[in-house]
Structure 1
């Protein structure tokens, strides 16, 4: 999807400066609450992880570029809650009645949170087509990068890797296809591969031409080279 979030390999945004080793996990107290409420709302079962990612990507370019990381999270969550009918805009404004919500029974209780987080949400599946590529095969990513199922939809193929030549490094088995799952079209699992690319295949002037980049890519993103 050609939206502002797909920033990999672009110039003009300045260097990436990692946090100091002793930096706090959350720079502000509300960051921890934003993460907690996002995970808790996801536990209501009204959307999946890919829908959540897509909601952040769909923020307006103006908001996306000015929001901090957790502002993006909480803003996308507000959109999802309204779009999926969990809350109304009035609810978010604090203008609502005090009736018990129909999803209240699904609320995560404190005692079960550690187990839920430890269990995670595995995306590997037994179902799906056979893998058509083997380790060592030369492949090329599709150009342009984009969702082939939904115009402007979610995809995990970054724009900087479109049309790049690489080779299969590892097969991961079948995994849920984000391009379908993000739009409520079903999991549509298919083979997922670790694909290694020379840096010079991705960028015109790589700082270290001998470097390699490994991307996890679904079978439908690839074609034989």
Structure 2
């Protein structure tokens, strides 16, 4: 079964509101702080991007549906800080001591932020094998959409695309496999493809039947059609 975050194509959630083009990036001042503290905590090196995504995905369904976007970020971050031993629950309640933290030397300084953001976190990696699929080839996504390494684990294959047939648009080379990386099982790089699906292969009644949806999918998500 999918987690509550896998909402693509689900009925009943209302229209997607992209907002006005001139709206501020952060609607409230604390939204910017939520992003900043998440990036700063990530710089401590105690988890990776896929672990961070998975922390937000596994929030309690009641919380996930009631929290705003940046509330989800803060809740996921709080879980990661405690799970990795960076902080304790007492620390989060403001009841910790004032001793110098063991990770203090890794703190991201304000003068280093621009360079850190410019470096980003590239996920492309060397790969010993050869891509199993070629551009133009028909492929089918696995069904159900699930992490085949960890029960209930993180995966980037959306549930709405499970079992659908599309064609390979291009191969992006090998990239870190999120299904392994989110669970401390190494980077396990494998080929990553852009796969194009007709709207009718994903939706029972597409508004525009001639539309196409392009998804970036790892090799282990696919099989020959």
Q: TM-score range by the shorter chain?
A: over 0.9
Q: How far apart are the structure 2 equivalents of 1:109 and 1:3?
A: 36
- Cα deviation for residue 128 of structure 1 reads 4.6
1:140 and 2:147 matched: no
Aligned residues: 225
- Structure 2 unaligned runs (5+)? none
1:128–1:191 CA contact under 8 A, matched in 2: no
Q: How far apart are the structure 1 equivalents of 2:215 and 2:72?
A: 24
Q: How far apart are the structure 2 equivalents of 1:100 and 1:205?
A: 59
TM-score normalised per structure 1? 0.99
- Cα deviation for residue 130 of structure 1 reads 1.7
Offset from partner CA, 1:13-41 (integer Å, 9 cap, x none): 01111110110100000000000000000
Offset from partner CA, 1:29-70 (integer Å, 9 cap, x none): 000000000000000000000000000000000000000000
Q: How far apart are the structure 1 equivalents of 2:145 and 2:128?
A: 22
Q: How far apart are the structure 1 equivalents of 2:158 and 2:61?
A: 17
**1:71-220 map, 5 Å:** 71-220=71-220
1:198–1:210 CA contact under 8 A, matched in 2: yes
Offset from partner CA, 1:167-197 (integer Å, 9 cap, x none): 0001000000000000000000000000000
Q: How far apart are the structure 1 equivalents of 2:9 and 2:44?
A: 36
Q: How far apart are the structure 2 equivalents of 1:152 and 1:121?
A: 25
Which secondary structure does the structure 2 equivalent of 1:167 belong to? strand
Give me the CA root mean square deviation. Answer: 0.7
TM-score normalised per structure 2? 0.99
Stretch deviating more after TM superposition (47-56 or 124-133): 124-133
- Structure 1 unaligned runs (5+)? none
Residue in 2 that maps onto 1:49: 49
Residue in 1 that maps onto 2:4: 4
Which secondary structure does the structure 2 equivalent of 1:191 belong to? strand
Which secondary structure does the structure 1 equivalent of 2:47 belong to? coil
1:192–1:219 CA contact under 8 A, matched in 2: yes
- Cα deviation for residue 210 of structure 1 reads 0.5
Q: How far apart are the structure 1 equivalents of 2:211 and 2:36?
A: 37
Q: How far apart are the structure 2 equivalents of 1:99 and 1:70?
A: 29
- Cα deviation for residue 127 of structure 1 reads 2.7
